[in-house]
Amino acid sequence: MSVTDVWMIAGGGLMLIGLTGFLFARHLLRRLLAFNITGSGALLMVLALSGDDRGLAPALLVLTGMLVALGATALGLFLLRLWQQQSGHTDLPPPPDPDLDR
C-alpha cells in the first residue's frame, strides 16, 4: 500500500463520516461541523490524487476549497444564530409541502 493509498483511504473515510453526519444530524451546528469534516476529507483526497510535483493548479484548487469552507462556515454560523434567535429552533422544519398553500 503506497502513501497515496493511505491518504486516499483517510480522505475517503473522513468524507464518509462527514456525509453520515450531514444526512442524519438534525441540529444545524452538527450539520455545519459534519460539512467541515466532509470538506477536509475531500481536500485530502484531491491532494492525494494530484501527487507531489504537479504544478500550481491542485494547490490552488485546495486553497480555494479551504477559503470557501471558511467563508461558508462563517456565513452558516451567522445564519444559524439569526434563525435560532428568530424561531427559537436549532434545526430546520420539515420542507414545505409543494402542493399546499400556507
Which residues make up the interface to other proteins (CB under 8 A)?
Answer: 15, 22, 28, 31, 35, 38-39, 42-43, 45-46, 49-51, 54, 56-58, 60-61, 64-65, 68, 71-72, 75-76, 79-80, 82-83, 86-87, 92-93, 95-96, 98-99, 101
d(CA 72, CA 94): 23
For residue 16 the three cell numbers come to 464518509
In terms of CB distance, is 20 or 64 closer to other proteins?
64
User: Residues near 2 by Cβ (< 8 Å), separated by ≥ 6?
Assistant: none
d(CA 97, CA 6): 45
Closest separation between CB of residue 10 and other proteins, Å?
Answer: 14
